[in-house]
Amino acid sequence: MPRTQSLLLHIVCAIALCGALGGCKDSEDPTLQANELDKKTYAGLEDVFLDTGVIETKGKYMLLVFGANGCTYCENLKDDIKAQPNLREKLKDFSAYYINTSYSKLHTFRIGEGAMLQEHSIPTRKLAQIYRIGPTPTLVFATKDGKTILTYPSYLPPKQFSALLDFIAQGSWQKANGDEKQIATMLQQHLQAL
């Protein structure tokens, strides 16, 4: 058999084998798959967490919750929010996003308003690097113009989580004049007073 016919026969056999095994189907757009997987991560909390395709403050304080698959404390946090109506209500005062670091997704990150608006496309991994995410869940709070106020790398039970949301929403952190260590100290005192 001439070499050209042999090569053609191999190609035809490979195509037939792929078709028989279902391994050569056109798959969905990987970006679409990542978006759908990402949304499933916070299923039941769509009224609290916004779609992470576009991340922006929308004139509110911003909360980024970084989580991961297999993270027990991430699941505990989501279960607490589902079970505690007061947490759901408080979170509606934030532009809140649940970002699953287990998936690769491209996020459009918008900061600022009007002429000062900046827009960046950032993959999930890079976003996690920017905020120095280690353990999950990690909560990142930002001002209405996108400046980081506080990063809290830990799970908090409902009572403490509610107090943390109040600490940010009521502006208690502003007394520290942007000093991150002072904000952390004030928050710890606030939480210990409960």
Q: State the Cα angle at 150 between 83 and 60, rounded to 5°.
A: 65
CB atoms within 10 A of CB 20: 9
Percent of the chain scoring above 70 in pLDDT: 81
CA separation, residue 142 to residues 8, 42, 99, 169 (Å): 60, 21, 15, 11
pLDDT tens per residue, range 69-100: 999 999 999 999 999 999 999 999 999 999 99
Residue for token pair 């260590």:
181
pLDDT band per the 50, 70, 90 thresholds, residue 24: very low
- Bridge partner residues of 62 (DSSP): 95, 142
| Nearest CA-CA partner of 165 in 178, 176, 152, 175 | 152
**% of the chain with per-residue pLDDT over 90:** 66
Rounded to whole angstroms, how far apart are CA atoms 161 and 155? 8
Statement: residue 23 has pLDDT above 60? no
pTM: 0.81
Closest CA to 95 of 84, 106, 110, 82: 110
CATH code assigned to 30-157:
3.40.30.10
At 39 the pLDDT is 77
One DSSP character per residue, the chain reads --HHHHHHHHHHHHHHHHHHHTTTSPPPPHHHHHHHHHHHHTTT-TTTEEPTTEEE-TTSEEEEEEE-TT-HHHHHHHHHHHH-HHHHHHHTTEEEEEEETTS--EEEEEES-GGG-EEEEEEHHHHHHHTT--SSSEEEEE-TTS-EEEEE-S---HHHHHHHHHHHHTTGGGGGTT-HHHHHHHHHHHHHT-
Are the CB atoms for 57 and 144 separated by under 8 Å? yes
Rounded to 5 degrees, what are φ and ψ at 44? 90, -5
Task: State the average pLDDT for the chain.
Answer: 84
Give CA–CA dist 147/46, Å, rounded.
25
122-143 tens-digit pLDDT: 999 999 999 999 999 999 999 9
